């Protein structure tokens, strides 16, 4: 711990420099020296200030379920981890290598009910969607808070309860993509992955700390992760006991804790975020795997592992655990706030 603190002290001046650069960039956009473009669709951005692991994917899925029945909706992502470039529209037979793991998850989950596309430059992506899908009125921008070349009508910033942005520093001493003051651009801040034991008193303390950096009156919501029943890769429901835990996500702590509470974890294998699984990876996962043991993964890992698992004929021993966002007693307030914000423009 002492060594880590010394490293942080050494890197802090670089964090100041990085923070200064990002602040200058934001100032240039704020003063319109650098121009932003407004797309034809209403844009709802789901982003963060912290690098990775705040729960953007399940939040985006929550918004799809909430809004897509009323508004023709598209999800536009960068498509981290893909091997393609430029604009790609999700369609059958494309893989995570074509569009990225999270967009593939959206496409497989929602099918034809929403449009899913990827593009590094969100402005270009929005134009392409407008051309190909002119009926789309609502554009969900996945992880685009710092992508200021596109105007975002409504900006949601997520911060992990266990790693709040107000306790962190910009890269490289910390995990912030910009300074804490970036929270002033947010229209709402959502504290994600909250523990079930969270009290109203603690909520007030967190809100007070967040509002040191956000705009006056910016609403703060608290969300929780709700895990579903384990699902076999072939779609059947299974009962877990002995498991080999595998995850390739930015912050697996919540997932590993949940699995550890409900299963006997005989081995835990953690890969980097957006890990592209190989045949050799699969061979290592099933080597010495007993008949009474399942390999349990996140849903994000499942979309990349599934083709390999199916080809090897071992779907019966691979399961994933789906998750959804739950606002608990704040659900109606959050849903109403979102709907009213959109209705005021659309």
pTM of the full structure: 0.93
Looking at the fold, whether 209 and 270 belong to one and the same domain comes out as no
Residue 24 falls inside a structural domain = no
Residues 338 and 287 in one domain: no
Give the CATH number, domain containing residue 307.
3.40.50
Same domain, 234 and 296: yes
* Residues 245, 217 share a domain: no
Residue 152 CA to residue 201 CA, distance in Å, equals: 33
Residue 60 lies in a domain: yes
Q: What is the CATH number of the domain that holds 156?
A: 3.40.50.300
Query: Do the domain assignments include residue 332?
Result: yes
Residue 236 covered by a domain? yes
Question: 292 and 179, same structural domain?
Answer: no
CB 266 within 8 A of CB 293: yes
Residue 31 domain-assigned (yes or no): no
Are 195 and 339 contained in the same domain?
A: yes
213 domain-assigned = yes
Domain that includes residue 263, residue range? 229-321
Q: Is residue 5 part of a domain?
A: no
Q: Where are the strands (E) in the chain, listed by range?
A: 42-48, 73-77, 88-89, 115-118, 138-142, 154-160, 188-192, 220-222, 224-227, 231-232, 242-247, 264-270, 293-298, 318-321, 323-326
Phi-psi region for residue 229, left (φ > 0), alpha (ψ -120 to 50) or beta? beta
Write down the pLDDT at residue 1: 44
Is 20 among the domain residues? Answer: no
Residue 72 and residue 170 share a domain: yes
**Binding annotation for ATP:** 50-57
**pLDDT confidence of residue 274:** 87
**Domain check: are 117 and 237 in the same one?**
no
User: C-alpha 250: how far from its chain's center?
Assistant: 9
41-53 per-residue burial string, b: 16 or more CB within 10 A, e: under 16 = bbbbbbbbbbbbb
What does pLDDT average to in each consecutive run of 10 residues of the chain (346 residues)? 65 91 95 96 96 91 96 96 95 94 95 94 97 97 96 97 95 94 97 95 97 94 95 91 93 92 94 92 91 93 94 94 95 97 82
Burial class (CB in 10 A: 0-12, 13-18, 19+), 193: buried
Residues contributing to the annotated binding site:
50-57
How confident is the model at residue 4, as a pLDDT? 56
**Inter-CA distances, 68 with 97, 184, 300, Å:** 27, 28, 22
User: Same structural domain for residues 49 and 158?
Assistant: yes
155 in the same domain as 50? yes
Number of domains forming the structure of the chain: 2
Residue 131's CB: how many other CB atoms inside 10 A? 9
**Within 10 A of 24 (CB to CB), how many other CB atoms are there?**
9
């Amino acid at each position: 711990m002492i060594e880590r603190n010394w490293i942080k002290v050494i890197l802090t001046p670089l964090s100041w420099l990085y923070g200064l650069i990002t602040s200058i960039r934001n100032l240039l956009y704020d003063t319109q020296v650098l121009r932003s473009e407004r797309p034809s669709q209403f844009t709802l951005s789901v982003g963060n200030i912290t690098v990775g692991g705040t729960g953007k994917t399940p939040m985006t899925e929550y918004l799809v379920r909430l809004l897509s029945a009323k508004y023709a909706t598209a999800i536009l992502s960068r498509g981290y981890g893909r091997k393609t470039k430029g604009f790609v529209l999700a369609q059958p037979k494309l893989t995570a290598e074509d569009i990225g793991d999270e967009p593939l998850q959206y496409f497989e989950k929602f099918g034809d009910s929403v449009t899913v596309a990827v593009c590094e430059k969100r402005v270009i992506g929005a134009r392409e969607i407008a051309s190909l899908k002119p009926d789309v009125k609502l554009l969900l921008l996945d992880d685009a808070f710092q992508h200021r070349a596109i105007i975002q009508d409504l900006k949601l910033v997520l911060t992990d309860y266990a790693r709040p942005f107000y306790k962190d520093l910009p890269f490289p001493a910390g995990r912030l993509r910009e300074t804490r003051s970036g929270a002033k651009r947010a229209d709402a801040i959502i504290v994600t992955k909250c523990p079930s034991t969270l009290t109203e008193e603690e909520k007030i303390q967190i809100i007070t700390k967040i509002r040191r950096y956000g705009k006056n009156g910016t609403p703060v919501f608290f969300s929780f992760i709700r895990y579903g029943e384990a699902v076999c890769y072939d779609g059947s429901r299974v009962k877990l006991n002995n498991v080999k835990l595998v995850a390739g996500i930015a912050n697996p702590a919540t997932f590993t804790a949940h699995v550890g509470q409900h299963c006997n974890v005989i081995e835990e294998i953690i890969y980097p975020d957006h890990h592209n699984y190989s045949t050799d990876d699969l061979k290592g996962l099933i080597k010495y795997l007993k008949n009474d043991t399942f390999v349990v993964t996140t849903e994000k890992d499942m979309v990349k592992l599934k083709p390999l698992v199916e080809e090897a004929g071992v779907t019966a021993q691979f399961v994933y655990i789906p998750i959804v966002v739950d606002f608990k007693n704040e659900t109606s307030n959050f849903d109403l706030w979102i709907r009213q914000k959109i209705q005021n423009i659309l």
